């Protein structure tokens, strides 16, 4: 931990324990004795920390300040790391998005107040941090909470569901009986991994595409986690499939500066070629989501394999070019500037 974090650790330990031996501070901070002495001296002399050594008790404690005396003791501001501020703001976002009529409504205000106090503990108010830090969730779709509650109930009670499902890809609506296995939150949307008794196989369902849903008082079929991962976790993105192919992409040296730091798949392999381009390989079972992610890089990416994926991306690129050429100039969005 850095020096400012050590100051907060020292302050917290003495506040919590009232009296802290020197050896306990050294162990907790994982620093040398000389470093700890310098930290304590700095806190006393520069930050006006009322820390004193109690020889009789054998430890450091805070001295009782005189009502009229001395400068105020105040630690320097400590900013959150990226994971902490993301977690805090995400929790606030999820809590404030709860349905006002939900069963958690009476309980969330104390939680929000606690999160506000945590956010505001770093020298800035919680409102100021929320104004200055923005977490954007793209692609979020509206979710019918009544269906979500029924799905969750069946999932935990290990009961089956009768659903009316609209498949956006085909435009078809089907009646299905499914055994729910797990809920998945992916790219701002909820999905249900389940055994589909109509298809007699593992399937993935977008919860916002469920038009009707009812719990059936019949025991759900159990599917092992390994089987779920083999079908739903081995490919790319949210789409399922047992027949895996391996995509091989090449990104231009300019785009490689970003993509080389990204994770597209847990089992991906990446390397730079002699020209500085980034070669990326990973398995996929369904091309639909993958094509969308490839196209957003435009001319900065080339599909090297397999031939079928290369052709599909080329066909989609031609369609986009034709649509763009046919669109009136006034409707074409201007490209945003980047630093």
Between CA 304 and CA 320 the distance in angstroms is 20
- pLDDT over 70 for what percent of the chain? 72
Average pLDDT over residues 214-243: 80
Q: Residue length, the chain?
A: 339
The residue from 196, 213, 233 where one domain ends is 233
Residue 76 above 90 pLDDT?
Answer: no
pLDDT of residue 322: 85
Q: Print burial letters for 218-238: b (CB count within 10 Å at least 16), e (below 16).
A: eebeebeeeebeebbebbbbb
Q: How far apart are CA 191 and CA 183, in angstroms?
A: 6
Whether residue 281 sits in one domain with residue 227? no
**Which CATH number characterizes residue 293's domain?**
3.30.70
- The number of domains in the chain is 4
CATH code of residue 155:
2.30.30
| 211 plus 264 within the same structural domain | no
Whether residue 112 has pLDDT greater than 90: no
- List the single range of 100-109, 147-156, 322-331 with lowest mean pLDDT: 100-109
Residues 255 and 203 grouped into a single domain: no
> What pLDDT does 320 receive?
86
Cβ neighbours, 10 Å, residue 25: 21
Q: What is the pLDDT of residues 123-136, one digit of tens each?
A: 556 666 666 666 66
pLDDT, tens digit (0-9, with 9 covering 90-100), for 12-60: 899 899 999 999 999 999 999 999 999 999 888 888 889 999 999 999 9
157 and 229 assigned to the same domain: yes
Listed residues 233, 256, 284: the one ending a domain = 233
**Looking at per-residue confidence, does 142 or 19 come out higher?**
19
Q: How far apart are CA 322 and CA 316, in angstroms?
A: 10
Residue 69 placed within a domain: no
Q: Which of 156-160, 183-187, 249-253 has the lowest mean pLDDT?
A: 183-187
Q: Which of 81-95, 224-238, 296-310, 313-327 is predicted most confidently? A: 296-310
Give me 199's structure tokens. 């298809």
Measured CA to CA, the distance from residue 301 to residue 80 in angstroms comes to 36
User: How many angstroms separate the CA atoms of 193 and 238, rounded?
Assistant: 10
Q: Locate all alpha helices (DSSP H) within the chain, ordered by sequence.
A: 3-17, 22-29, 33-45, 82-96, 105-119, 126-132, 145-157, 225-228, 253-259, 287-295, 307-326
Decide: 20 and 59 in contact? Cβ < 8 Å.
yes
| Final residue of a structural domain among 205, 233, 261 | 233
pLDDT-wise least confident of 96-100, 275-279, 323-327: 96-100
Q: Which one has a higher pLDDT value, 191 or 270? A: 270
Is the pLDDT score of 339 beyond 60? no
3-state secondary structure 35-51: HHHHHHHHHHHCCCCCE
Establish whether the linkage from the previous residue to 306 is cis, with ω within 30° of 0: yes
Q: Tokens representing 232? A: 């739903």
- pTM higher than 0.75: no
Report yes or no: 7 and 43 within 8 Å, Cβ to Cβ.
yes
> Residue 249 and residue 272: Cα distance in Å, rounded?
12
**Domain encompassing residue 311:** 245-326
């Amino acid at each position: 931990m850095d020096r400012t974090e050590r100051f907060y650790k020292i302050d917290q330990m003495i506040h919590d324990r009232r009296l802290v031996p020197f050896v306990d501070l050294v162990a907790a901070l994982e620093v040398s004795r000389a470093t700890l002495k310098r930290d304590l001296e700095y806190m006393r002399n520069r930050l006006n920390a009322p820390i004193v050594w109690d020889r009789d008790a054998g430890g450091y404690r805070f001295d009782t300040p005189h009502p009229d005396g001395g400068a105020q003791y105040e630690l320097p501001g400590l900013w959150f790391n990226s994971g902490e501020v993301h977690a805090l703001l995400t929790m606030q976002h999820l809590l404030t998005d709860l349905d006002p009529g939900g069963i958690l409504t009476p309980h969330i205000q104390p939680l929000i107040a606690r999160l506000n106090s945590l956010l505001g503990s770093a020298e800035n108010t919680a409102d100021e941090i929320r104004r200055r830090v923005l977490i954007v969730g793209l692609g979020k779709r509206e979710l019918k909470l009544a269906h979500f509650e029924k799905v969750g109930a069946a999932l935990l009670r290990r009961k089956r569901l009768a659903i009316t499902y609209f498949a956006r890809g085909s435009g078809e609506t089907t009646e299905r009986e499914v055994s729910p296995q797990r809920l998945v939150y992916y790219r701002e949307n909820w999905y249900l991994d389940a055994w589909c008794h109509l298809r007699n196989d593992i399937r993935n369902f977008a919860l916002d595409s469920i038009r009707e849903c009812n719990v059936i008082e019949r025991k759900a079929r159990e599917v092992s986690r390994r089987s779920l991962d083999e079908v739903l976790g081995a490919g790319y993105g949210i789409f399922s499939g047992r027949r895996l192919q391996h995509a091989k992409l090449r990104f231009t040296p300019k785009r490689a500066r970003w993509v080389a730091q990204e994770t597209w798949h847990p089992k991906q392999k990446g390397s730079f070629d002699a020209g500085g381009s980034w070669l990326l390989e990973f398995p996929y079972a369904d091309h639909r989501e993958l094509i969308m992610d490839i196209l957003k890089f435009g001319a900065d990416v080339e599909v090297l394999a397999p031939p079928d994926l290369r052709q599909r991306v080329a066909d989609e690129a031609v369609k986009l070019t034709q649509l763009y050429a046919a669109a009136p100039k006034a409707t074409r969005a201007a490209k945003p500037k980047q630093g």
